[in-house]
Structure formats: structure tokens, C-alpha cells
Amino acid sequence: MDLHTLTRDLHTKNDSKIVLLVGDGLGGLPQTPGGKTELETAKTPNLDRLAKEGVLGSSIPVLPGISPGSGPGHLGLFGYDPLQYMIGRGALEATGIGFELKEGDIAIRANFCTLDANGNISDRRAGRIASEESAPIAIKLRKVSIPGIEVFVEPVKEHRFVVVLRGEGLEGNVDDTDPQATGVPPLAPKANDKGSEKTAKVCAEFLKQAFEILKDEPKANGCTLRGIASKPSLPSYEEVYGLKAAAIAVYPMYKGLARLVGMDVIGDSKTLDEQMEVLKENWDKYDFFFIHFKYTDSTGEDGNFEAKTKRTEELDACIPKIMELGPDVFICTGDHSTPAMLSSHSWHPVPTLLWAKYCRTDPCQSFGEAECLKGGLGQFEAKYLMSLALANAGRMNKFGA
């Protein structure tokens, strides 16, 4: 029996409010052995107060030793087992640029490439063509016309663009056409199962017309299709948790991930202050709010310990605005660790704070990695966070008699 079978059966509704505040890449490492992490260095009086009143723990995003990308990292926090629900690369790319995938859509990461006179690939990334140059070329490809299929082409960055195919009977199990080598022609799209044969044919037709449109481009005279994938089919927050959920995010990727689990993406905020305004304005309309803060991750990726510390303080500073609205359950955590020392996502457990009236508080006195080791939530897989949130919100019935 999977976790969602339980939450589906046991959830109940009330007028409680749950807030999940995600500091992307929140966990970190000290700069020197025995030192303090970014979160421990940051002055976070508001999180520390909630840490005293609430319960802490360390969340394992996927499994010990596994460093997740944003997709599996957030699915885990949303309570979707990231090993069960995979988001294909094409679908994640489309989601990342804010493209709203519909049921049945096929999403594809496409690359411009350079072909030589014999049709062999001479550069798999079209010389990493500049975005200003490649975007108009991608837009030209919107001229591709395939009967019965709606074709969307969206520029991304440099040599990358996204193709979405919408139509009846399309499945996503088609191999990449990128041969991962130069001096050879692109591969033909090959279906790996019966259900994906139509998709392979549509891809072949797309490429035929695309190559015709691109033939006079000096660098981007060809393209390859990769990560061909259906829109992932995820049960919604409403269905599995009985929650009317909203996402307040700045970056398209996180809006997209939230949409995949049926959250409404609300507001159009660019800053944390604006996100707080959107939260306040919509407080009465939703049961659950996912608030995403990107900069604890991006500063970590930059390897900038001080900047990550500062961004963590910025995150802390928004807490009073959340708490004055009176949430029943408030959670602050990350989707993974991004230690500045590693300049990348990592496998280290993520500090997690859960504050609620009926949480069983623990001896923790502040919010940080070392303190979390003493916490009442222990070490737990991120996918269990949502059942804990529902329970603390009084939204879960007893299991069995």
C-alpha cells in the first residue's frame, strides 16, 4: 500500500491552513571542519523561535547518498515518491520555461546542431549559438505544420529549445535523435513500444520540415530531439490530500512543478515581499500554500557562503508576515542541500522545521543542521512530510479501528 492510498483514504477536511516555505537548497556544509553551515551562521531569530516551539528533523530527499535535481526534490516535499513518479526530461524542460502541459502532450528538449555538407553533425550544439541569435530561428520552426497535431516551439537558451506535440494517441517512449557524437548524421526517431509509434512518425515529420526551414542557417542548420516524454500523470493535491493548494513562486520551474500536482499558481511576484503580499491576499481562498525561495540554492551553486547566509536571513525575515496570518501548520525546509562548499546540489539531509499546535516539541533551540540531529522528526524521507503536515493540521482520520 503506498502512502497516497493512505492519505486518500484517511484525509478529512477542516478550515486549517498549512504553509510550506521552501528555501531551495537550504542545507549546507561548514567551510572548515567543525565550523558552522550557512544556515547555522545566518541570524535567523524568527526560525529559531519557531524551532524552540516546534519540532525539527533532517529530511532525506530521495535516499541516502542521492543528490536530487529540482524535480525529484520537490516531488518528495509534495509527498510524491520521487522514485515512483519520474518526470521525463522533456516534460521538466517544458515545465521549467513555464509551458503549461496538458494531458497527453509530448514534450521534447531540442538542440540546434550544425550539419556538414554530407548531413553529418559537425557541432552538436551549433557552436553554442547565442540566445539572441537562436530564439528567432526557433520561432521560425513554428511554421512546421502536421495534420492533426498542434506543434509548439519555444526558445530556451543558446542552442536549446522546447517542442511540444499535442494530439490524439501520442505516447512518449521514443529514443533521442542525438547520436551523442559528431561526424555521423542525426538518428531517426525510434519508438520503443507500439503506443509510441505515432509519436515517432510525428517527430520524423517535424524534423523533415524543420531541416528544410533551417537549411540556409549558417550554424543552426539542423536539430536533434532529446528527452521525449509525455506529461507525467500525477494525482492532484485535491485528490490525495483533500487540499485546495496554491503555489507562490517566482521561477517558472517551480510554478510548473506545482502545476503538475494540481496547485493553482497565484500572483506574479518577483520578490519575497511580493510573495508575502500574494499570500495575504489569497489567505482565505486556499488550504495549503507552497512558497518557493530560489536564492538559497543559486548562491549555494555560486559557491558563495556569505551570499547564501545573507539570503537565508532574508528568508527568515519573511516569517513574521506568514505567522501573523495564523497558519495552523508552518513548515520550513529545502528540496535538497546546496552547500556553497560544493557549488552543487548534494546528498546531505535537509534541515526541516515543523511548527503546529499539536506537534511534540523537542529540545532543539535553534534552526540548523546540527540542532536538527536532536530533533523529534529524526531523519525521515521527504515524502512523509505531507502526511505529517496533514496530521498536524487535524486533517487525518485514524487508520483502522
Question: 137 vs 388, which CB is nearer to a copy of itself?
Answer: 388
Cα distances (Å, whole numbers) of residue 284 to 16, 40, 257: 10, 34, 23
Exposure b/e, 97-117, CB count within 10 A at least 16 = b: bebebeebbbbbbbbbbbbee
Q: What is the nearest approach in angstroms of a copy of itself to the Cβ of residue 347?
A: 4
Q: Which residue has the cell 517527430?
A: 203
Q: Which helix (H) or strand (E) holds 152?
A: strand 150-157
Give contact residues for a copy of itself (rule: CB under 8 A). 1, 3, 6, 10, 29-30, 33-34, 37, 52-53, 58, 62-73, 82-84, 86-87, 89, 92-93, 339, 341-342, 344-349, 358, 360-363, 369-370, 373-380, 384, 386-392, 396-401
Q: Cβ closer to a copy of itself: 272 or 329? A: 329
Nearer to a copy of itself, 75 or 202 (CB): 75
Closest separation between CB of residue 157 and a copy of itself, Å?
Answer: 14
Residue 325 CB, nearest distance to a copy of itself (Å)? 20
Going by the DSSP 8-state scheme, the letter that residue 203 receives in this structure is H
Q: How far is the CB of 361 from a copy of itself (least distance, A)?
A: 6
φ and ψ of 370, to 5 deg: -65, -40
Min separation Cβ 67 and a copy of itself, Å: 5
Could you tell me the smallest distance in angstroms from the CB atom of residue 136 to a copy of itself? Answer: 26
CA-based max dimension of the chain: 74
Between 224 and 346, CB nearer to a copy of itself: 346
Contact 367, 51 (CB under 8 A): yes
Nearer to a copy of itself, 176 or 217 (CB): 176
164-182: burial string, b at 16+ Cβ within 10 Å, e else:
bbbbeebbbbbbbbbbeee
Question: Which three cell numbers, joined as nine digits, stand for 83?
Answer: 522514485
Q: With respect to a copy of itself, which residue has the nearer C-beta, 243 or 278? A: 243
Q: Which of 368, 339, 366, 365 is nearest to 351 (CA)?
A: 368
Specify the residue, 15 or 399, whose C-beta has the smaller distance to a copy of itself.
399
| Rounded least distance, CB 161 to a copy of itself, Å | 16
Q: Give which of 371, 288, 323, 272 is closest to 46, Cα–Cα.
A: 323
